[in-house]
Amino acid sequence: GKGAGSTPLLCCHGQWDPVVPLALGETSARQVEQAGWPLEWKTYPTAHSLHPDEVNDIGQWLRDRLS
């Protein structure tokens, strides 16, 4: 099977998140990439909640990898 580091990841974050600050999400994303994981990082104009564009992007990301 595939090693853990070959599993693609999608990380989404709200630009105005008061719970998990954007800078913390960015730092985490960099660390994941530096560890060798294939990561796609996206931000959205929202707080600590889903944004409609995020839902669409997640669906497309899954379709691209599972079809």
pLDDT number for residue 6: 86
Residue 11, SS3 per DSSP: strand
What's the Cα-to-Cα distance from 16 to each of 22, 32, 52, rounded to whole Å?
7, 22, 15
Q: Where are the domains of the chain?
A: 9-66
Query: Two tokens at 10?
Result: 């999608």
User: What pLDDT shows up at residue 24?
Assistant: 98
pTM: 0.86
Q: Which residues fall within 8 angstroms of residue 6, CB to CB, at 6 or more apart?
A: 38
pLDDT in tens, 5-60: 889 999 999 999 999 999 999 999 999 999 999 999 999 999 999 999 999 999 99
Confidence of residue 1 (pLDDT cuts 50, 70, 90): very low
Residue 46 and residue 15 in contact, taking contact as beta carbons nearer than 8 Å = yes
